[in-house]
Amino acid sequence: MTMRIVVCVKYVPDATGDRYFADDLTTDREAVDGLLSELDEYAVEQALQIAEAADDAEITVLTVGPEDAKDALRKALSMGADKALHVEDDALHGTDVLGTSLVLAKAVEHTGYDLVLCGMASTDGGMGVLPAILAERLGVPQMTLLSELAVQDGVVTGRRDGDSASEELRAVLPAVVSVTDQSGEARYPSFKGIMAAKKKPLESLDLSDVGIEEDQVGLENAWTTVLEATKRPARTAGTIVNDEGEGGKQLAAYLADGRFV
């Protein structure tokens, strides 16, 4: 039977560019280039490796986001995913992680799944809790922050490297798994992959398609509110100590003055 892998990905502002906020204090996506979140590329890569090792697997990439978020899906398709699912709806603007996880859960159920893969966090919001909430909503096991994983005979196994220990984990599918940036470098989309992606199916759904009411999502219904966003002041130049025999003392004095010691 075909193993159905769904990879949840996010379209984020380029992390190397400046960040801007719109008037309603949501991320301004018009002002900067967007792309597939780098941390989600690791999830796509693991999905591809699992599919390559399996007899029969199909990878669906799923995103919730505005029209431009299709770029993130196309990139995942050009890396080798089989099809894409895009939930877009004007009512989704400003949705928080609770709302997003609800939409993802409904969309995942809509398309069918054995394994849901996520990155460890988004590079813009950086919450990192979505995979856990998603697993709760789906009512399936969660194995988060894995740096290594494999799937065999309907069982997913993996390793989570913590500060003090490495844990070997296993769960019976269906399950939700998130992977870290230590799980293995993501492949680059090849030219042939880019050309092939053109012909792969990309389906768009709105909220009604996945059975969600407008009052369950959106900025109005978020559990938290951003009150203010202030640009961080530019970093000031550091202090340079020239060692002319007194360097050590100067350093110690600096640390003492700043109450660092």
Q: Enter the tokens of residue 60.
A: 């669906």
Minimum Å distance from CB 191 to other proteins? 3
**Is 67 among the residues that bind other proteins (CB under 8 A)?**
no
Minimum Å distance from CB 219 to other proteins? 30
**Is 170 among the residues that bind other proteins (CB under 8 A)?**
no
Minimum Å distance from CB 131 to other proteins? 25
Contacts 24+ apart (CB under 8 A), 251-259: none
**Is 235 among the residues that bind other proteins (CB under 8 A)?**
no
**The binder of other proteins chosen from 153, 165, 191, 238 (CB under 8 A):** 191
Report how far residue 35's alpha carbon sits from residue 10's, in angstroms, rounded to the nearest whole number.
8
Find how far residue 19's CA is from the centre of its chain. Answer: 18
**Is 15 among the residues that bind other proteins (CB under 8 A)?**
no
Minimum Å distance from CB 193 to other proteins? 8
Comparison of 1 and 240: residue with beta carbon closer to other proteins: 240
Comparison of 65 and 174: residue with beta carbon closer to other proteins: 65
Site for other proteins in 83-142 (CB under 8 A): none
- Residue 165, beta-bridge partner list: none
Comparison of 31 and 251: residue with beta carbon closer to other proteins: 31
Amino acid at the residue 221: N
Q: Is the peptide bond before 174 cis (omega within 30 degrees of 0)?
A: yes
The region of 71-79, 164-172, 202-210, 219-227 touching other proteins under the rule CB under 8 A is 71-79
Minimum Å distance from CB 102 to other proteins? 31
Other C-beta atoms closer than 10 Å to the C-beta of 57 total 20
**Is 259 among the residues that bind other proteins (CB under 8 A)?**
no
- Burial of residue 228 (number of CB atoms within 10 Å: 0-12, 13-18, 19+): exposed
Q: Enter the tokens of residue 73.
A: 């899906």
- Residue 6, beta-bridge partner list: 60, 116
Helix (H, G, I), strand (E, B) or coil at 85: strand
Site for other proteins in 18-37 (CB under 8 A): 35
b/e 79-106 (16+ beta carbons within 10 angstroms → b)? bbbbbbbbbbbebbebbbbbbbbbbbbb
The region of 61-69, 163-171, 190-198, 222-230 touching other proteins under the rule CB under 8 A is 190-198
Give the footprint of other proteins on this chain (CB under 8 A).
Answer: 35, 74-75, 78, 187-195, 197-198
